Chains A and B, each alone.
Chain A
Amino acid sequence: MNEQQHLQTLSDIKRIMERSSRFISLSGLSGIWAGLSGLGGAWIAYSWLNSYYAAWDARGGYSDADYASLRLRLMLLAAGVLLVALAGGAYFTWRRARRNGLPIWDATSRKVLVNIGIPLAAGGLFILGLIYNNQVSLIAPSCLVFYGLALVNASKYTLTDIRYLGLAEIALGILNIFLLRRGIYFWTLGFGVLHIVYGMVMWWKYERKTREIAN
């Protein structure tokens, strides 16, 4: 056994420890995709809100039917954006895992999903409660805070950088609760801009090099 072999053994041990305890295939492109979906969704929501208030002004008052229709459309839009973001995000991560010859469904990805899922499910039910009680201005800050907590929780089982994204989302949510009724701007910043910035940083940090080698 020579020095080179010992170094190789140590780096094998490190690699196996990391691979067995953390899901490392999460792609930066997933973040960028989620951010673009968020921005697209926010843009549509923004234009709907504008025409809603334009109609309000033209009518000179509030309309129950208009409000109910806006609320339903916004809820469907949010669900649609979530679906598009998740599907694209899963695709880029699946692609990265396949490229590196790693399984996408193993003990570590299960841990990430469970640990994101618990705070996220709690948040989802909480927000349904807000809608039920007509506390719509609290929806955006609650989304941001619960999502941030979910990311911080899952960061123990994947790339640790996601912790900072989580902390930033929590901070935005808290700021939003003190600046109510500007939810759409905070939402756009948190789910659009932050995801894109995070995704680009992650891609630059972890994926750029492997691509150069592959080419």
Chain B
Amino acid sequence: MNNPIGNLNKLFDSRIRLGVMSVLMVNEEVSFNDLKQLLEVTDGNLASHLNTLEENGFLKVHKGFVGRKTNTTYSITKAGEKAFKSHLAALEHMIKFMQ
């Protein structure tokens, strides 16, 4: 039997990264500002976590414009969805395993 802790994704140890993934799982496309408001984080903090998730291929970035302002939106990738689901499954498994 493999160790359930092994299925927990290290990337999702961060509450902010886990929060971003949770939002993107249930919303097709979310803007930077909406993410910031939902997770109550600063611009710089959020940007660095988004970068990490993008580098790992868990989310797609779309750069657009609303008038003259840039409007960056994010959506989840297939790989991101898969990683998030197995992370959830591992969490659930560990709770059952411990009871």
Instruction: Say how far B66's CB is from chain A's closest CB, in angstroms.
Output: 13
Residues of chain A within 8 A (CB-CB) of B48 are none
- Interface contact A13-B95, CB-CB below 8 Å: no
Residues of chain B within 8 A (CB-CB) of A107 are 27, 30-31, 34
- Interface contact B98-A20, CB-CB below 8 Å: no
Q: Chain A interface residue count: which class?
A: 10 to 19
Q: How far is the CA of A20 from the CA of B22 in the complex (A)?
A: 9
- Interface contact B26-A20, CB-CB below 8 Å: yes
- Interface contact A13-B22, CB-CB below 8 Å: yes
A21 at the interface (CB under 8 A from B): yes
Residues of chain A within 8 A (CB-CB) of B31 are 107
Instruction: Say how far A128's CB is from chain B's closest CB, in angstroms.
Output: 32
Q: Interface of chain A, helix or strand or loop or mixed?
A: helix
Chain B stretch 11-61: residues in CB contact (< 8 A) with chain A: 15, 18-19, 22-23, 25-27, 30-31, 34, 37-39
B91 at the interface (CB under 8 A from A): yes
- Chain B residues with a Cβ under 8 A of chain A: 15, 18-19, 22-23, 25-27, 30-31, 34, 37-39, 88, 91-92, 94-95, 98-99
Question: A-B pairs with the 3 shortest C-beta distances?
Answer: A20-B23, A21-B26, A16-B22
